[in-house]
Amino acid sequence: MIEKVAEGILWVAGRDRFMPDSHIFVLGNVGSDDLTIIDCGIVEMGDYKLGELESYGISIKQVKRIIMTHTHLDHIGCLGEFLKQGPHIELWVHKDEAMYLEQGDDRIVYGNKMFESMIRSQYAIPAGFFEFKVDKKLEGEEILDVDGNSFRVVHIPGHSIGSIGLYDEARRIFISGDTIYADGAVGRYDLFSADAEKLKESLEVISNLQIDILLPCHNRIVKGGADQMVKNTVQYWIPLLR
């Protein structure tokens, strides 16, 4: 399923099966050849995601870069499938997770040993599958300009060490990855590189943003009036994170 959620922002819904599959967002105008994709999805979802883009008239040739909100398997699993179709595409990842990817260290990708063995038997993933060259190592505060809209990279560690969000201040749109979801939920903070204290600080950063449209990478997206929900979610979780 593909849907336009705002001018220059398309949403391709994740297709959860026995494992969650992240949503992806496409930034830029449909005819542009400077498109940015946020996240990819779980292993074997490349054809579905790229098929949805094609049905909307978008070719992978138009995609300049993929930015990862973070590198968990349900977001990065089909990155290799995207890059095989579009070897020209740049990969942008926060520096704290880029370091792992470039060394083929997949501890963040899997999160823990139990998931690793479950997933590797399910998908027969060979060792070294998650070694990628990162073209731009983000630090936070970079500004991405796409077809007249600008998105600020916000480093929000906690769910994972290099989690980022993208904030369009003018339109009050926040792409939140797995850090905060609609309906009162926040990302889990027990996996490798997660940190409850940092998640708490990141939620405080998020609650200081004005957010009308909330675009998390799982479950429901909020197409307007998200601000009070976001602030209530943060209020609820702050005392629980210690």
**Cβ closest to Zn ion, residue 28 vs residue 177:** 177
Q: Are strands 63-67 and 35-38 parallel, antiparallel or unpaired?
A: parallel
Cα–Cα distance measured from residue 36 to residue 28, given in angstroms and rounded to the nearest whole number = 7
Using CB under 5 A as the binding rule, whether residue 178 contacts Zn ion is answered as yes
Cα–Cα distance measured from residue 76 to residue 70, given in angstroms and rounded to the nearest whole number = 8
Helix (H, G, I), strand (E, B) or coil at 208: coil
Using CB under 5 A as the binding rule, whether residue 106 contacts Zn ion is answered as no
Number of residues interacting with Zn ion: please give it, by CB under 5 A: 4
**Cβ closest to Zn ion, residue 170 vs residue 196:** 196
Using CB under 5 A as the binding rule, whether residue 74 contacts Zn ion is answered as yes
Using CB under 5 A as the binding rule, whether residue 200 contacts Zn ion is answered as no
> To the nearest whole angstrom, how small is the minimum distance from the Cβ of residue 105 to Zn ion?
17
- Listed ranges 28-36, 39-47, 52-60, 176-184: which one lies at the site for Zn ion (CB under 5 A): 176-184
> To the nearest whole angstrom, how small is the minimum distance from the Cβ of residue 221 to Zn ion?
14
Using CB under 5 A as the binding rule, whether residue 72 contacts Zn ion is answered as yes
**Cβ closest to Zn ion, residue 40 vs residue 146:** 40
Instruction: Answer whether 108's CB lies under 8 Å from 131's CB.
Output: no
Cα–Cα distance measured from residue 10 to residue 147, given in angstroms and rounded to the nearest whole number = 13
Side-chain-side CA neighbours of 204 within 13 Å: the count stands at 9
* Cα 217 off chain centre by: 6
Site mask for Zn ion (CB under 5 A), range 35-64, x = bound: ------------------------------
Cα–Cα distance measured from residue 55 to residue 37, given in angstroms and rounded to the nearest whole number = 16
Residue type, 238: I
Instruction: Provide the binding-site residues for Zn ion, judged by CB under 5 A.
Output: 22, 72, 74, 178
